[in-house]
Amino acid sequence: MNTLKKDREFQLIYNQGKKTFGYYSLIFFLKNSSNTKNCGFVVSKKTGNAVCRNRIKRLYREYLRINDARIKNGYDLILVGKRIAGQNIKSLSYDTLGRDLEKMFRQSNLFIM
């Protein structure tokens, strides 16, 4: 799994891709021409302090690491953390966030059936 780093890559996915909403996060996704998965993570300063933002990104990375085989190849993904995730960071567990992401990936048909 490759990481998105350049602003133009993010802007292309934001402008041309589709999105799915969840309680704690959003997923923007766009079909790419290669057969690889490219992922980017965005958590705004409005979400919380640096510790909070980094924890949310670590939870996203862990979810993608564990479910890498289930997610379709050939997509660029951006996972965006919502403010509610930062407000509930003390009680937010991997399982809770994982269920939210699971629901969103199923809605957007990004899982291999």
Q: How far is CA 35 from CA 38, 74, 76, 83, in A?
A: 10, 4, 10, 33
Q: What pLDDT score does 112 carry?
A: 87
Q: Which single residue is written with the structure tokens 């959003």? A: 26
Q: What pLDDT score does 46 carry?
A: 94
Selection from 24, 14, 13, 19 nearest residue 101 by Cα:
24
Q: What pLDDT score does 1 carry?
A: 82
Q: What pLDDT score does 10 carry?
A: 96
Q: What pLDDT score does 32 carry?
A: 93
- Phi/psi at 2 (nearest 5 deg)? -95, 160
Instruction: Return averaged pLDDT per consecutive 10 residues of the chain, 113 residues in all.
Output: 92 96 96 93 95 96 95 95 94 94 94 82
